[in-house]
Amino acid sequence: MRRIAQTFLVIAILFPLHVFAWEPVLDESNSWPLPEQTDPLTDIARLDLRDLNEAESGQSGFVRLSPDKNDFVLGDGTPARFWIVGTDAYRFPPEQMDRHARWLAKLGVNMVRLHVTVCDRSPGSKITNVDEELIDGVFRFIQSAKKNGIYVLLSPFYAHFDAPASWNLPGGEVDMEGLLFIDPTLQAAYKQWTRTLYTRVNPYTGLAIKDDPTVAILQIHNEDSLLFWTMQRLPDHHRAMLSDHFSSFLAERYGSTSAAWDAWGDGWKGNDPLDDPQNGQIACLKIYDLTTDVDGAFAKRQRDTAEFLARFQYDFYRKMGKYIRDELGCQQLLNATNWRTANDEKLKALERFSYHALEIDAENEYVGSDFQHQGPNDGYRIDPGDYLVNESVLSKPFEMCTNFRQHQGHPFIVTETAWKNPNRYQSEGPFLVAAYQGLTGLDGVAWFSCQTPEYERDPLKPFWRTGDQMSTHKWNHCYPAMMAGFPANALLYRRGDLKQAAPILVDSRTFEEIFDRQIPRITDNEAYGDQRNLPDLSPDWTPDGDEVNRAAFLIGPVQTTTSEEHSPQDRPDLSSFFDPQSGTITSATGELKWDYRREICTMDAPKAQGVTGFLKRNGGTFELSDVTIESENEYATINIVSLDDQPIQDSKKLLIQVVTVNRLTGYETRPATFRLGNKEDSPEIEGEQIVRIGHPPFRIANTEVTVTINNPKLRSVQVLDIAGYLVETMDVSNGRVTLPKNTIYAIVTTND
């Protein structure tokens, strides 16, 4: 509890004090336009990572677990690392599907996530009907992915809608969230939907999904849980059904519901209209009740409710997994879902327990504070007049999307992430994800989401108008500041250029600790509010009991196990790696250093070196083992990566990659103060207000970078365009390369 109180106190104090710089305009004086022409996707490109992928995905069989069950291997046992994007490609015309898959492979992608809802939700549909057009799109894109060596993670259902009245569910047009766990009619319909999707022969590949190794992972459903706030508003009929299951659970444990009521002891136990223990009925508590701390009889009811919900979800996933694997014959690896809870400190371990009915853990985690974008439609679009704060995650290391507890025996995938639009500071994303995936052994991070076949060139939506301006969609990942950073970082991650550290902590917990909602030694909670200047980032932080500082996530893997018996555990000594006085966190491998005060992160491994963050204000010169980087860029991300799998100092072919920032032409903001929330006491934020959304083309801030490489063999520089084609060649002078201002990629070679 002390930790929670400290965090909220710091948030309340710090919010009004934030002062953010007004964003400079990108124009002809400091930037260059994204070319109008699309990538011809020809074989004369000098930068093309298609050969990293197999000729066809699944050519050696289904992706499976490694012998220790912590990682993935291909069908022939080759260790596999996946660079993943979510994509809407199943909606594209067929020729665009093929182009999209080829473009993704060129950038280093070897897995896509298709996040769909396969049922027919249209008015008048039967509950067992499927969306035939969607299924055809999924089938067609699987062929495109297969031909480009890309695997598929398929999620077939998202309960984020109201049921059509024609489905005849109790309550009529009810909110669907949570119902799949409870309603047998809906479960039967889900089985029919997935039977159609997984067992029908794909006319484009000749294989049903169940038999197609291109489809590597099946997710039961997207973002749903009985431990999240949506459980608070379960329809009355379904809450009664859930309470019937809870009552049966109690009767099996205690002999009867009345015996359970008595076993909880004297004192207040709750007062729910469904409570009738003498007649076999006790209500399942609403989720709010599991976020609170009380003593006495009600605490015992909380504990039993928590265990029931965890086991109930576990049993749902176990049964559904058995159906998919045994009855439908699907050979893919299975994941339950990817959600969080109403109180991660107390409830996330219960959620993860339920996932372990299947093979893979997952969660969705986006980068960007609650206050970074505020507007009437900020959940899905960006409008003129919206407020924003441009803020790098480099000042907020505990908001990093790879900071997860990984359970031994279960690979972990972040199935959705994004450096959320309209934040200016996005190019750090691929660099940091590649770095800290590699360090911690996280098994995949899926970027959300590709809504266009290639780079987004015109995001304006004519059907969203504010005055004389058009708005943009919030969630397209295909902006150059993000996607252009893929090649170097996908390569270094997939090749394993960074060492994976030994576990910093293996946190062994008992099932009783989990069911009792006890807070773990180190949390990987969803990041809310201000994540800078937190108590555990300051020099005077002291642990609460056996608490472990969250800096451990940036030092090496944090793993978990469960057991019946408690075993004493030492607290890891982080002092050699974490220096809160200077504000630095160094990886246990020594290859990564995150400076959250200066907002800089460096990578220094034999085959991959670079820097991301606010370069100019930190001196502009960064000396690494084999390269020295000089930059006048305010903010940029710079990678130097071997292309021939040799150390940089011996390599005959290196890639220099520089990604800055992007904005639409004419994009303009002004300084503004706004409130986080609608109450009078809501904290004030100093940020910006969007005056002009702008118009195509995107403008990309000039590259102002010189790289000196300690490798005398290198003689020539091939300057490439954004699509990887040769623009010009230059000589290397004493290992020194100064890039043209409109350059993202350059290949440095020996001239051999």
- Cα–Cα distance, 423 to 428 (Å, whole number): 12
Name the pLDDT band for 752 (thresholds 50, 70, 90). low
pLDDT of 9 strictly over 50: no
- As given in the structure block, the two tokens for residue 658 are 């520089």
Question: How many C-beta neighbours within 10 Å does residue 385 have?
Answer: 15
Looking at the structure, tell me whether residues 575 and 594 fall in a common domain.
no
Residue 579 DSSP code:
E
- The CATH number assigned to the domain holding 595 equals 2.60.40
Secondary structure, 3-state, 108-121 = CCCEEEEECCCECC
pLDDT digits (tens, 9 = 90+) for 459-494: 999 999 999 999 999 999 999 999 999 999 999 999
Q: What angle do CA 478, 447, 530 make, to 5 degrees?
A: 105
Residue 77 DSSP code:
S
* 622: amino acid identity, one letter: F
Residue 67 lies in a domain: yes
pLDDT of 12 strictly over 70: no
Looking at the structure, tell me whether residues 421 and 435 fall in a common domain.
yes
Residue 13: the pLDDT is 31
Do the bridges between strand 469-473 and strand 505-510 make them parallel or antiparallel, or are there none, so unpaired? unpaired
- In 3D space, the residue among 320, 243, 319, 312 whose CA is nearest the CA of residue 276 turns out to be 243
- In contact, 360 and 413? CB cutoff 8 Å: yes
Looking at the structure, tell me whether residues 484 and 510 fall in a common domain.
no
pLDDT digits (tens, 9 = 90+) for 394-415: 999 999 999 999 999 999 999 9
Looking at the structure, tell me whether residues 550 and 648 fall in a common domain.
no
- Cα–Cα distance, 742 to 720 (Å, whole number): 10
Domain boundary among 445, 475, 495: 495
Looking at the structure, tell me whether residues 463 and 603 fall in a common domain.
no
Euclidean distance between the first and final Cα of the chain, in Å? 64
pLDDT digits (tens, 9 = 90+) for 612-670: 999 999 999 999 999 999 999 999 999 999 999 999 999 999 999 999 999 999 999 99
Question: How many C-beta neighbours within 10 Å does residue 255 have?
Answer: 11
Residue 651: the pLDDT is 98
Helix axes 132-147, 184-199, angle to 10 degrees: 40
- In contact, 178 and 226? CB cutoff 8 Å: yes
- As given in the structure block, the two tokens for residue 590 are 């020594």
Name the pLDDT band for 315 (thresholds 50, 70, 90). very high
pLDDT digits (tens, 9 = 90+) for 256-289: 999 999 999 999 999 999 999 999 999 999 999 9
For the chain, how many structural domains are there in total?
A: 3
- As given in the structure block, the two tokens for residue 370 are 């609650």
Query: Distances from the Cα of 718 to the Cαs of 31, 701, 709, 739, 744, in angstroms?
Result: 21, 21, 15, 10, 12
CA atoms within 13 A on the CB side of 727: 15
Residue 348 lies in a domain: yes
pLDDT of 11 strictly over 50: no
Looking at the structure, tell me whether residues 539 and 634 fall in a common domain.
no
Residues 6+ apart with CB under 8 A from 334: 217, 218, 219, 220, 321, 324, 325, 358, 359, 360
Looking at the structure, tell me whether residues 470 and 597 fall in a common domain.
no
Secondary structure, 3-state, 490-515 = HHHHHHCCCCCCCCCEEEEEEHHHHH
pLDDT of 20 strictly over 60: no
Residue 40: the pLDDT is 97
Supply the Cα-derived Rg of the chain in whole angstroms. Answer: 26
- In contact, 405 and 507? CB cutoff 8 Å: yes
Residue 682 lies in a domain: no
Query: Distances from the Cα of 55 to the Cαs of 44, 74, 211, 734, in angstroms?
Result: 18, 13, 19, 40
- What phi and psi, each to the nearest 5 degrees, are found at residue 455? -55, 140
- Cα–Cα distance, 138 to 88 (Å, whole number): 10
Ramachandran assignment for 304, one of left (phi > 0), alpha (psi -120 to 50 degrees), beta (any other) = alpha
* Mean pLDDT of all residues belonging to the chain: 95
**pLDDT > 90: percent of the chain:** 92
CA atoms within 13 A on the CB side of 279: 3
- Cα–Cα distance, 370 to 373 (Å, whole number): 7
**Cis peptide before 449, with omega less than 30 degrees from 0?**
yes
pLDDT of 7 strictly over 60: no
* 106 DSSP β-pair partners: none
Residue 679: the pLDDT is 79
- In contact, 625 and 610? CB cutoff 8 Å: no
Name the pLDDT band for 296 (thresholds 50, 70, 90). very high
- Cα–Cα distance, 614 to 612 (Å, whole number): 7
Residue 19: the pLDDT is 42
Give the CA-trace dihedral at 331, 335, 337, 338, to 10 degrees.
-130
- Cα–Cα distance, 148 to 136 (Å, whole number): 19
- The CATH number assigned to the domain holding 17 equals 3.20.20.80
Looking at the structure, tell me whether residues 617 and 635 fall in a common domain.
yes
Burial (Cβ within 10 Å: 0-12, 13-18, ≥19) of residue 573:
exposed
Name the pLDDT band for 569 (thresholds 50, 70, 90). confident
Do the bridges between strand 705-709 and strand 627-631 make them parallel or antiparallel, or are there none, so unpaired? antiparallel
- In contact, 106 and 41? CB cutoff 8 Å: yes
Residues 6+ apart with CB under 8 A from 259: none
What 3-state DSSP class applies to 176?
A: coil
Domain boundary among 579, 603, 629: 579
Residues 6+ apart with CB under 8 A from 181: 224, 226, 242, 312, 313, 316
Looking at the structure, tell me whether residues 221 and 327 fall in a common domain.
yes
Looking at the structure, tell me whether residues 175 and 35 fall in a common domain.
yes
- In 3D space, the residue among 524, 368, 514 whose CA is nearest the CA of residue 442 turns out to be 524
**Cis peptide before 277, with omega less than 30 degrees from 0?**
no
What 3-state DSSP class applies to 302?
A: helix
Looking at the structure, tell me whether residues 604 and 745 fall in a common domain.
yes
* 414 DSSP β-pair partners: 363, 445
* 728 DSSP β-pair partners: 719
Tallying the residues shown for the chain, one arrives at: 752
Residue 300 lies in a domain: no
Ramachandran assignment for 554, one of left (phi > 0), alpha (psi -120 to 50 degrees), beta (any other) = alpha
Residue 742 lies in a domain: yes
CA atoms within 13 A on the CB side of 588: 21
Residue 520 lies in a domain: yes
Helix axes 486-495, 428-440, angle to 10 degrees: 0
Looking at the structure, tell me whether residues 166 and 45 fall in a common domain.
yes
Residue 565 lies in a domain: yes
Name the pLDDT band for 4 (thresholds 50, 70, 90). very low
- Cα–Cα distance, 21 to 309 (Å, whole number): 47
- What phi and psi, each to the nearest 5 degrees, are found at residue 136? -60, -40
**Cis peptide before 697, with omega less than 30 degrees from 0?**
yes
Residue 541 lies in a domain: yes
Host domain of residue 656: 584-664+698-749
pLDDT digits (tens, 9 = 90+) for 503-539: 999 999 999 999 999 999 999 987 777 777 889 999 9
- In contact, 633 and 616? CB cutoff 8 Å: yes
Q: What is the mean pLDDT of residues 151-180?
A: 98
Q: What is the mean pLDDT of residues 12-36?
A: 73
- Tokens 């001196």 label which residue? 619
Helix (H) or strand (E) holding 306: helix 297-322
H-helix segments, 108-235 = 132-147, 184-199
* 595 DSSP β-pair partners: 584, 600
- In contact, 534 and 7? CB cutoff 8 Å: yes
Domain boundary among 462, 495, 528: 495
